[in-house]
Structures are given as C-alpha cells and as structure tokens.
Structure 1
Amino acid sequence: MASGADRISDLPEGVLHHILSLLPAHDAVRTCVLAQSWRHHWRFAPAVRLAGCTGWSGGAYTFGPFVDGLLLARRGGAPLDSCDFDLDLDIDLDLGQYDVPKMERRVNSWIRRALRRQIRELRFEVTTTPRRLPLTLEDRNLASEHLTRLELMGVRGNARVLDFSCCPALVDLKMEECEVGSLEMHSPSLKHLRIRYCLFYSNYRTGMSFPSLVSFEFVTNVGRVPVLESMPSLETAKVRYDHFYDDRCDNGRLDDCGDVSCDGCYYYYGPYDYNCMFLEGLTEATDLKLSAYPDLYVFNRDLEWCPAFSKLKTLVLSRWFVSADLGAVIWFLCHAPLLEKLTLKPSKVRNSLMNSEGSYRPLEQPIKASHLQIVEIKCEDVDEIVLKILEVLNATGLPQEKIRIQCPGS
C-alpha cells in the first residue's frame, strides 16, 4: 500500500493464526522475521501443513530435521486442531535404501508427536510409485482422546494400527491406496468409513467391526472380500468390486467348484461359521449402491443366507446384480419391503457364468413391492435383459408410468 503501513499486524490474533494455518509450514515459520510482533504467531496457528521438501536445499536430509524441530517447538504453543502431511516417498523421505528403517522411525515419531498436540484431524498422505512398498506404520495403536478425523494414504497398517479403540472420539476415517495387514479392523465410535483402492490379504479374510457406522464406502479394493459384522446404525453404503479381487473361481463358476487347485474357491466358505460374509452387514441401510464384476461369487453365496433389508428405501444395482437371470433383482424386490426407488444398470454376462449350478435362482413366490414409487433402468440399448426386467416389474403391479428407461437410443 502507498503509505507503507502494516495493517495486517492490526488484525485480531485469531484471524492471523487462521491465515497462517492456511500456509505450508515452512512459509508460516518464515513469517517470524517480518517483525518482532510476528516472532511467535506461527506457534499458535491451529493447523500445520507439511507439504514436502520440493525446492529445499538438502532435500530429505534437511526436511526431516525441520519437521522434527517444528513439532517440538509446537509443544509450548496452542493445541493443534489439525495436522496435514502430504509427502512423496521418493522425494521427501528418500534417505537411500539402507536408511529405510531410520526414515520409517522418523515418520512414525511425527505422527505420535502430532497426536500428543491434541489434534482433532490428522491427514497423512504418502505418494508412492509402483516399485515402492507403502510406508509401514509402527506396530502400536494410534492413541488420542481428541482425534475425530483420520485420513491415511499410501501406508501399511497392521493389527494394532487398525484397532482404533484407543481413539474413542474418532468418527471419520478415510483410507486410500493403503495395505491392510491385519485380520481385524475395529472402532466402537466410528461413524463414517471410506476405503478405496486398498490392498487386503489374498489368503485370509479381514473382519471389520464398526458397530456405530452411519455411512460406508468400499470401492475398488484388492484381495479377499472382508467379513462385515453388524452395523445397526448404518444409513448409506456404496460398494463397488472391480476385477481386482481374489474371490472368483478359476473354473468360471459361482459356487464352490471343488477343485483343490482353485485358489479362488479355497475360501468360498466363510470363517468362524459366518454364513453371510458381507451383505448381512449392510442390511440396516436405507440407501444402498451395489456393483460387482460378474464372476464374484461372494454375493451370489450371500443371497442364500442374507436376512431382509427391512429399512432399505433407495437401491442402485449394477453389473452382476443385474445379470441375465435377474436373481439379485428379484431377491431385493422380495426382501426390501419398504423400497421406494430402484435404479438398475444392466450388464451383459457371459453364458458360462449364468448357467453355473451355483448361480442364484429367483425365488418362486409372489413379488410384493407396495412401496415402490419409481424404477430407473439405465442401459446402452433395450436388449433381452431389459425386456426381462420389464417382465419382472410388470409382475409387481408397478404402473408403466413409474418406469423410466434411459439409454442413448431412447
């Protein structure tokens, strides 16, 4: 400004601290040289954002000590509301192949120090390349009475890390591109869970216990389908299984093929006497989206044992769930008595799967869908599957004006 007056310093301290919390940590710290009055403002910023060492002289060898010093200096400052780590494994943390244990110890110490600052939100993202393994979190529980939101990306967590019972206030968890190295995941308090592009065991099933969960998103993960325990508070769920999973028969069946050399069917039967491994955990939902590749046998198996979806009002079914025999569609029409809106996205399924002895057979009983108000069919063209869907819907007594078909040719 023309007068050269420092009007920023006249702002209320709370405003200054908020502004500093929006800056990368190394820029926030540099404000201490602006004036005597700015010397300690950065210590009271409610958020710390560590965005890596790009452009730093010395790279990872200077970035690490800076983070150590920053978190140590915050010990005498105000409690942190949030701490955000956005790191690149090959740039910010690359100390050479012989220093990997040292690097992992340092990173884990950052997380512990951040939690001791009473943070409510922790985001820890590590970008990796296909040639590098995820960064391993140390074998101890994350413990904080204040943490409410946690985001993990590009890390490997074992049994203790993925037992969140030592974070009694945690309500929101997001995991992306992580490796789940545990037979169990648990949190009594968690309400919102998103797991995307994560790697699960291929030789074991992971049990998931989140009794307070309200929303659940499980999309495009790899490995064995986990075992879901009851989630009585669940309202919304989105599940998508692409072709990166191990629960498919090498011989192209939807039941246990009996071939001892078939790795896919080796875990066909659920552990611990679980008849229904996945779908039963979703039965309390009111809003549900389900999508799976056609050769995933778990859902076909689950439909034989799954109880009714007694609260379900909105349902979207894609791929396997709208396969040629329409078994899953009919099952939901019969077992979701309060269903109001149904969206179907048909897919073409090869005959070898549809003719498997283990494929789900439509129930031979009247279909009652008294609450159904609208059915949307989203397809590429009006083919044989769509005509079968219309035949099934006609059997429910649903008026034609409540059926909408959306396709490019319509």
Structure 2
Amino acid sequence: MPPSPVRARVSGGADRLSALPDGVLHVILSFLPPPQMVRTTMLSRRWRDLWCSTPYINIDQPEFGIRINVREPIQEEVWAKFEDFTTNMLLFHCNTVSLDKFRLCAQSQHRRAVERWIRLGIRCCPRVLEILVRGVDRFPLQLPHLGSSSCRLERLYLSSVALDSRFAEGLCSRFSVLETLELVTCITSFENIASSTLKKLVLDSYEHQTEQPLAFLKKNLDEFPIYPITRTLSIGHCFLDDYDLNDKVEALGTFLQNAPCLEKVIIEYSMFIVDPDEEWDMKSITLRRDIKTFHCPKLKLIEIWYESGVDLRVTKLVWCLGRILPDASIKVSMYR
C-alpha cells in the first residue's frame, strides 16, 4: 500500500512535525501538489487552515491527471473537477496572504476559467509570477492588467499570452522592483521594452508568433534606451538567415553598448537553413568592411545555440560578432 503523502505522527504518538513553526511547515507544503496540500487539513486542528497561508501556489494541469495535449479535447467531467477544485482553492487562499510565488500551467481551451485563475493569482501580489498557457487558439489569452500587484513583482515569466501596449508602458512606471522578465512565444503589440530595474531579459518568439525580437534588431539605432543594471540578455530567432546580417549584428552591438553592466548574451535558434538543398562554401561568407566596433565593458561571454546542419552559417555569425565585440568570448553549442 503506498505511503501517505504527509505523515505527521512518528513512533510513540509524538506529533513533532506539527510542533514546527508555520514558516517551516509552509516550505514543506510548497513541495506538495495542490490536492495533497489541501488534504493536510485532515491531519489535526493544527493543520486545518495552514495550507491557506502558504506563500507558494503551483497549479500544474498534468499533476491533476489531465495531460496537456492540444490535439485531444479534454473530457468535460474531468475538467469540471479540476476547475472546481482550483477555483475554490484560490478563493480560500487569496484572501489571506501575499504570495512569494504563483505558477500556473494550463490549457487555454477553457479560457474563462484560466483567465479567472490568473486574476486570482495576480490579486495575491506575488513576488514571482509564472504563467504558461498551452493551446492553439487563433486569439491568444490576454494577460489581465496587473494593477497594484506589479509594484511587488521581482520575476515575471510569461509563455503563450498576448501583451498589449499597457504592459510595456507599465515596465517603467509600475514595475518598480522587477529584475527578471522572460517572454516566450508571446504575442506583443509593442516594439520597445524599457526598464531601469531589469537585470535579466529573455525574448523567445518561437514559430514567429511575434516579430518583437526582429523589430528589436531593425529599429533606429539612435532609439535604444539605456539598461543600466541588466546582466543577462537572451534572444531567440533573430538571426534566421544571412539576410541583413551585418545590419542586425550592428543593431545588437548598439543595444549592448547601452547595457554597461551586461555580462552574458545568449543567442538561441540562429541561422536556420531555409533551403535544405542549398550548398554553402567559405567563399559565400563576406563581411562588410565598414562594420563598427562596440564597447561593452563587462561583457565576458556570448553563447550561440543552433541546430545541426547550419555550421557554416553560424560561422558567419560568429565572425560578425567577433568583429563588433572583440573583447568577449564566444561559445558555440549545438542542440542535441
């Protein structure tokens, strides 16, 4: 018979676990899936309302026995139980304490429920907010307005949600302590990201669902803002081929020069082969003679990740980066 997920009593009947302070018990509860966390109410009076004040909430759809598969519809009765449990859990919890972390990973086929969960999570003013939405909807789920909760937010990870211009405007005016921003497969209606607090910025537009990183490298070079404390920059799907490569690399150099504390740049999914029958040789690698050299004083490492079969194109990218940023080391790795 499988062991109970939480066992409060030990040999001799002594309940030493319940004697621990609330902060320690909250950490223990944070490792449990939500259904097991709520079941701890049956252990004793000491545990009855303890889960309601834990500062960690992680709602992961597969942990409820519902696979995330956009090609197969979810059985309505199964989803109904999941929705009922999650909604009630958040309603009980969100009126008691601010959160250290709120994470939600769910399928967007039931938009109204997922949007409600996001709003309830935001209402708890978490320090870390992670929203991962899976689906193939024509119109992606719109991130609700963060309101006053944004003033406490230190890390924000968003995947497959839509962001309007108010989000970008709030980065300077309302996100007063935000240090890490990661946007993955997000649909954006803005081109500029400006913040005086960001230390890490990740932009990944997989499957070209947004042109944000491309616009980032095509804009007027005189319009880049200053990022005074950013230390890590990760960008994806910007160097898809060698078209306008020198101009894009030069734009990247201008941005890096405006980030004086930048230490590491990660470039992912670079230099795809568009035509598998196209032949490449070293003679096709040409560099513009008047390309500029940029100074980024603390930049030590540029990591380039690429898929197999594009080695020569990546070589061209490495040569260009080496020309504009001669003081940085370049590490090239292939996805396995």
Name the TM tier (shorter chain). Answer: 0.5 to 0.7
Which of 90, 99, 115 is matched with 1:108 structurally?
115
* 1:32 corresponds to: 41
* 1:372 corresponds to: none
What amino acid does structure 2 have at the position aligned with 1:123? E
Does structure 1 conserve the Cα–Cα contact (< 8 Å) formed by 2:158 and 2:183?
A: yes
Q: Secondary structure at the match of 2:18?
A: helix
Query: Compared with structure 1, are the counterparts of its residues 225 and 70 closer, same or farther at alpha carbon in structure 2 (3 Å cutoff)?
Result: farther
* 1:15 corresponds to: 24
Pairwise mapping of residues 261-272 of structure 1 onto structure 2 (< 5 A)?
Answer: none
Query: Compared with structure 1, are the counterparts of its residues 154 and 303 closer, same or farther at alpha carbon in structure 2 (3 Å cutoff)?
Result: farther
Q: Secondary structure at the match of 2:77?
A: coil
- CA distance in 1 between counterparts of 2:167 and 2:198 reads 15
- CA distance in 2 between counterparts of 1:233 and 1:203 reads 22
Query: Compared with structure 1, are the counterparts of its residues 280 and 118 closer, same or farther at alpha carbon in structure 2 (3 Å cutoff)?
Result: same
Greater C-alpha Rg: 1
The question of 1:311 aligning with 2:297 is answered yes
The question of 1:58 aligning with 2:77 is answered yes
The question of 1:73 aligning with 2:92 is answered yes
- CA distance in 2 between counterparts of 1:32 and 1:3 reads 22
Which of 157, 167, 170 is matched with 2:175 structurally?
167
Query: Compared with structure 1, are the counterparts of its residues 142 and 171 closer, same or farther at alpha carbon in structure 2 (3 Å cutoff)?
Result: farther
The question of 1:280 aligning with 2:299 is answered no
Pairwise mapping of residues 228-307 of structure 1 onto structure 2 (< 5 A)?
Answer: 228-239=224-235, 241=237, 245=240, 249=243, 277-283=251-257, 284=260, 285-288=262-265, 292-293=270-271, 306=292
Which of 57, 82, 100 is matched with 2:101 structurally?
82
- CA distance in 2 between counterparts of 1:305 and 1:143 reads 45
Pairwise mapping of residues 212-227 of structure 1 onto structure 2 (< 5 A)?
Answer: none
What is the TM-score with the length of structure 1 in the denominator? 0.56
Q: Secondary structure at the match of 1:9?
A: coil
Does structure 2 conserve the Cα–Cα contact (< 8 Å) formed by 1:276 and 1:305?
A: yes
* 2:3 corresponds to: none
Does structure 2 conserve the Cα–Cα contact (< 8 Å) formed by 1:115 and 1:147?
A: no
- CA distance in 2 between counterparts of 1:342 and 1:248 reads 22
Q: Secondary structure at the match of 1:123?
A: strand
Query: Compared with structure 1, are the counterparts of its residues 5 and 189 closer, same or farther at alpha carbon in structure 2 (3 Å cutoff)?
Result: same
Pairwise mapping of residues 386-397 of structure 1 onto structure 2 (< 5 A)?
Answer: none
Structure 1 residue 41: Cα displacement? 0.6
Per-residue CA distance 1:51-99 (angstroms, 9 max, x = gap): 226338932223223222222212442322111112234xxxx34xxxx
Structure 1 residue 132: Cα displacement? 4.3
Residue range with higher mean Cα deviation, 141-150 or 318-327: 318-327
* 1:150 corresponds to: 156
- CA distance in 2 between counterparts of 1:327 and 1:55 reads 49
* 1:136 corresponds to: 141
Structure 1 residue 278: Cα displacement? 3.3
- CA distance in 2 between counterparts of 1:203 and 1:120 reads 26
Which of 167, 184, 206 is matched with 1:176 structurally?
184
- CA distance in 1 between counterparts of 2:296 and 2:102 reads 41
Residue range with higher mean Cα deviation, 147-156 or 106-115: 106-115
What amino acid does structure 2 have at the position aligned with 1:308? F
Higher relative contact order (CA 8 A, sep 6+): 2
- CA distance in 2 between counterparts of 1:72 and 1:203 reads 36
Tell me how many residue pairs correspond in the alignment.
286
Q: Secondary structure at the match of 2:193?
A: strand
Q: Secondary structure at the match of 1:280?
A: helix
- CA distance in 2 between counterparts of 1:325 and 1:174 reads 25
Gap runs ≥5 in structure 1: 96-102, 208-223, 256-267, 346-377, 379-410
Per-residue CA distance 1:177-211 (angstroms, 9 max, x = gap): 3333433334342221112344454599645xxxx
Gap runs ≥5 in structure 2: 1-9, 67-75, 275-285, 305-311
Q: Secondary structure at the match of 1:168?
A: coil
Structure 1 residue 19: Cα displacement? 0.9
What amino acid does structure 2 have at the position aligned with 1:55? G
What amino acid does structure 2 have at the position aligned with 1:137? Q
Does structure 1 conserve the Cα–Cα contact (< 8 Å) formed by 2:56 and 2:100?
A: yes
Query: Compared with structure 1, are the counterparts of its residues 168 and 314 closer, same or farther at alpha carbon in structure 2 (3 Å cutoff)?
Result: closer
- CA distance in 2 between counterparts of 1:316 and 1:76 reads 45
Query: Compared with structure 1, are the counterparts of its residues 174 and 142 closer, same or farther at alpha carbon in structure 2 (3 Å cutoff)?
Result: farther
The question of 1:194 aligning with 2:194 is answered no
Does structure 2 conserve the Cα–Cα contact (< 8 Å) formed by 1:136 and 1:157?
A: no
Does structure 2 conserve the Cα–Cα contact (< 8 Å) formed by 1:47 and 1:83?
A: yes
Structure 1 residue 134: Cα displacement? 7.1
Q: Secondary structure at the match of 1:161?
A: helix
CA RMSD of aligned residues (A): 4.2
Q: Secondary structure at the match of 2:152?
A: coil
- CA distance in 2 between counterparts of 1:317 and 1:116 reads 38
Q: Point out the structure with the larger helix share.
A: 2
Structure 1 residue 24: Cα displacement? 1.6
Does structure 2 conserve the Cα–Cα contact (< 8 Å) formed by 1:171 and 1:192?
A: yes
Structure 1 residue 120: Cα displacement? 0.7
